[in-house]
Structure 1
Amino acid sequence: MDELSTARRLSAAVLAVSNQLSVPEVLQTIVDTARELAGAQYAALGVPDDAGSFAQFVVSGVSDEVQAAIGPLPRQHGFLAVMLRDPAPQRVPDIRADPRFHWWPAAHPVLKAFLGVPIITGDEILGAVYLANKPGGFTGADEELVGVLAAHAAIALTNARLHARNRELTIAEERARIAHDLHDAVAQRLFGLRLTAQAADVLLDRDPTAARAHLAEVTTLAREAAEELRAAVQELRPADLTTDGLPSVLRKQVSILDRAYGGSPHLTYSDNDPPELPMAARTVVFRVAQEALHNAVRHAKATEVRVTLQATTTSSVRLEVADDGRGFDVEPTLRAGRSLGLRSMRERACAVRATLKVTSTPGQGTTVTLEVPHA
């Protein structure tokens, strides 16, 4: 690959970090670019979890069939673990001959020449990029090139972490607001109850009719206080698909997102009381809705997002998430493999025999429609 082609591929990977793609999409772009530019047969990027495994492990050069045969995500051992503890890049001519090498599953490709570059922000190692099997071995130039890509992976992971923290803070602030409103509203109702009850007590002997009117008002105030309390508790309590049902969980999700994003875009939800689905189908509908909402509020630059859940005349439940955002070309995006979100939604739909349709046109918004059989 000539210098101009290398620069273009590197530029595309760097731009992916700032193009508001999802973190998995950015990491996949970085891994694919590292493998191509370094001339490696295989590449991977691992982000550790706190349980000795990996929260994310993105690969390039390994088919889906081989990945399935290898099994679950790897544990933090051997060179995988070395790269998560040592901030120095590692280059070895044959990983199998290094004493730090442990083992790999039977279906795992045989690795020889190895290059590992940690993903670092400050003094913290966020993960590592792994490359293997370059004819003639890896060079210092390869190490430098992959180091640039690892630095941009660090930016993507750090931004994702900050976004998650900001979202948690926003939701925490929203819960605090609800609690404050609850205190004010219920306290006011209870104060009114006390005054009205005292007035009824004063009037009981001299004006029974007026006393009964005040007691009727006490009943009304008590009912309103109970309704406000119930509504606030429902908002504070985390939604549960099993106990709350799909419509309620979707309604709460939309409401929280609408407030968390300050009403920009404005999100609305409606349903026609569709029949309850099996738990697996409920989960798929909710996850597809989450993915579609994520795309709408994060990437589409929409002003309106509508979520609809309804029963159809063909014994199915239809979810529709429609936005008026910038849209995109669906088929070219799928063919190029640039949207892990679309792929994930389709895989979830297939798992419950559902039908997924994504319609979108640049500049004219996007509509995600999922139909799940309930009979």
Structure 2
Amino acid sequence: MTAERNPGIEPRFDHGAERDAVLHAVSSAVLAVTRHLSVREVLQVIVRSAQTLLDARYAALGVPDVDGSFAEFVAEGVSDKQWEAIGPLPRQHGMLAALLHEAAPVRLADIRKDARFGWWPAAHPVLKDFIGVPIKDGENVLGILFLSNKRAPGGFTRQDENLLMLFAAHAAIAMTNARLYECVRELTISEERTRMARELHDAVTQKLFSLRLTAQAAAALLDADAERARAEIDTVRRLAGEALAELRAVIVEMRPAELDRHGLTETLRKHVGLLDRLSPVAITFEGHPVGDLTPDTEVTVLRVAQEALHNALRHANASRIHVSLTAEGACLVLEVRDDGDGFVAEEPTLRGLGLLSMRDRAEVLEGTLKVVSEPGAGAVVRLEVPR
């Protein structure tokens, strides 16, 4: 058994290719943050990057909680079925606890022969050669990153350890920034809700109040003075139209700035390109000239595309996703097509995937949203709205 620890070692690179590999892995993690992905998605990018960097069969990242377990635990190399058989998230015991408490890198030829090794569930994959490093922000351990079963013979090397230590330092920045972004996002959402509530109150509520009073007056006059009742109903119609216009104005203020700078087609192209770089799934985009569109149409199509892509990446287990945006006659057509597991397109499934909310968006523009899927045959989400 070999066990080496060198917490103060200065990372060195013997070959330019290895330097490029770690820089690419670091770049993937940092890009995940700049894309404003969730903390868990940033953790997944970090784990995948580390697994690729060291050519390991298994990789995992655990974020400890205050109760002796893990708040989050992300792994690569283990299928969903294996996870289900393994059971709940691990607690801080054995080598996991040692890495957390000692806060020093560990590299072993066989983890099972180390005195700190405890046990793992029966369904757990068999690990042999092992390398683990803490991800630290100063003295604070944000998590532990560990890999096992290097694909190349000979196990993990000192050079692997140096690379992983450097990567972990950058992963700490990515994790910290992702946490900060989520905090800022929550504050921003709260502030935006307050602002919108104020706007709705000032711009819309008074009109709705007037509309209600006018409607009550019209109802009272129906029997006594039909002509005056008719005039009051016309006022109701006018006030309702003004209230609707005010609501639309508030919604337009939520329009993403990218649409003003680049337009719908280019915004979608950039969004798909970024997801393609960050995800192991191959994501492609085909865009055609679609002419001038109303702001409501651009926002709706963009939001539906983002939701459909999110669903495909999260649930479809796909290897390829294709997005297309075309103009067919008087209609604008968006399609998001994947080659994943597919599903039975029943109402509970649609609700779980958020497809009903996408359908509601389409109906607001007098458009349609169709979902075609069956188990094993992928899925197609098709949005058609008038241009």
**TM-score (normalised: structure 2):** 0.52
1:112-151 map, 5 Å: 112-133=128-149, 140-151=158-169
CA distance in 1, matches of 2:63, 2:258: 32
CA distance in 2, matches of 1:102, 1:185: 64
Query: Which residue type is aligned with residue 27 of structure 1?
Result: I
Query: Which residue type is aligned with residue 358 of structure 1?
Result: H
CA distance in 2, matches of 1:360, 1:183: 39
Superimposed CA distance per residue, residues 312-332 of structure 1 (whole angstroms, 9 cap, x where no aligned partner): xxxxxxxxxx935475599xx
Match in the other structure for 1:55: 72
Match in the other structure for 2:91: 76
Change (3 A) 1:112 1:372: same
Match in the other structure for 2:49: 30
In the TM superposition, what is the alpha-carbon distance from 1:57 to its structure 2 partner? 0.9
1:176 aligns with 2:194: yes
Match in the other structure for 2:258: 264
Q: 1:102 aligns with which of 112, 118, 121?
A: 118
Contact 1:126 1:154 in 2 (8 A): yes
Contact 2:63 2:72 in 1 (8 A): yes
CA distance in 2, matches of 1:217, 1:176: 33
Structure 2: runs of 5 or more not aligned: 1-12, 215-223, 284-308, 326-333, 339-370, 375-387
Contact 1:48 1:126 in 2 (8 A): yes
Structure 1: runs of 5 or more not aligned: 197-207, 236-254, 267-300, 307-321
1:1-375 map, 5 Å: 3-20=15-32, 23=42, 26-36=45-55, 42-48=58-64, 52-59=69-76, 62=77, 64=79, 67=82, 70-72=85-87, 74-78=89-93, 79-92=95-108, 94-133=110-149, 140-185=158-203, 188-189=206-207, 216=232, 220=236, 262-265=256-259, 303-304=263-264, 323-325=268-270, 328=273, 338-339=280-281, 345=312, 348-349=315-316, 358-359=322-323, 367-369=335-337, 371-372=371-372
Superimposed CA distance per residue, residues 256-311 of structure 1 (whole angstroms, 9 cap, x where no aligned partner): xx756644336xxxxxxxxxxxxxxxxxxxxxxxxxxxxxxxxxx953279xxxxx
CA distance in 2, matches of 1:162, 1:94: 38
User: After alignment, is 73-82 or 41-50 more displaced?
Assistant: 41-50
Query: Which residue type is aligned with residue 171 of structure 1?
Result: I
Contact 2:51 2:147 in 1 (8 A): no
Change (3 A) 1:348 1:26: closer
In the TM superposition, what is the alpha-carbon distance from 1:149 to its structure 2 partner? 0.8
Q: What SS is found at the alignment partner of 1:265? A: helix
Contact 1:328 1:360 in 2 (8 A): no
CA distance in 2, matches of 1:98, 1:360: 54
CA distance in 2, matches of 1:90, 1:12: 24
Q: What SS is found at the alignment partner of 1:368? A: strand
Change (3 A) 1:357 1:112: closer
Query: Which residue type is aligned with residue 10 of structure 1?
Result: V
Aligned Cα RMSD in Å?
Answer: 5.3
Contact 1:112 1:132 in 2 (8 A): yes
**TM-score (normalised: structure 1):** 0.53
Match in the other structure for 2:296: none
